[in-house]
Amino acid sequence: MASVVEGKGVSQDYAKAIEWFRKRPLKIMAAENNLGELYLEGKGVPEDKAEALKLFRKGADQFYATSQKKNMGVMYENGWAVKQDYVEAAKWYRKAAERGYGGAQIISPFSTPKARVSGLF
C-alpha cells in the first residue's frame, strides 16, 4: 500500500491508501503506522498530530521499530502532541535500535543532545 501513498508504479492516491489502511485490522502494525504518518503530514486527511501519536503508539506498543524510532521518538523530540522530552525521545530511539532499526542506531546519539548529556548515551 505504500506504493499508492508514494505513487510508485501507480498513481499517488492518499484517499485510496487511507481506505486500505482503515480496512486492515488495527493490530497490523504497518497499517497503523502508515495511517499515522498520513495524519502527521495531513496527506489525504486533516493534519492531526494527536491522532498520529495514537496510531504510532499502537504500533510501538507492539514493538514495531518504525513506530518506535521514526515516529514516537520524533514526536517526543519535537513536542508534537506531547510535551517535548528529549529523554523520552532517546528511550524510543533506543528501543528501535535494539529492535534492529538502522535509522535509530544512526540517529539516536546525535539527534537528542539533552539526552546524551543526561547519560542515556
Which distant-in-sequence residues (6+ apart) come within 8 Å of 25 by Cβ? Answer: 31
Q: Residue 38: what residue type? A: L
> Any idea what the Cα angle at residue 50 is, between residues 74 and 5, rounded to 5°?
70
Return the closest-CA partner of residue 115 out of 92, 99, 82, 97: 92
Long-range contacts of 55-58 (CB under 8 A, 24+ apart): 56/32, 58/26, 58/29, 58/32
Please write the tens of the pLDDT for every residue from 20-52. 666 665 456 677 888 888 999 999 999 999 999
In this prediction, residue 85 carries a pLDDT of 94
Residue 108 banded pLDDT, cuts 50, 70, 90: very low
Among 2-16, 77-91, 93-107, name the most confident range: 77-91
In this prediction, residue 33 carries a pLDDT of 82
Q: What is the DSSP letter of 13?
A: -
Give the right CATH number for 2-117 from 1.25.40.10, 3.40.50.1260, 1.10.1040.50, 3.40.50.620: 1.25.40.10
In this prediction, residue 109 carries a pLDDT of 46
Q: Please give, one letter per residue, the 3-state secondary structure of 60-107.
A: HHCCCHHHHHHHHHHHHHHCCCCCCCHHHHHHHHHHHHHCCCHHHHHH
pLDDT beyond 50 at 94: yes
Domain ranges of the chain: 2-117
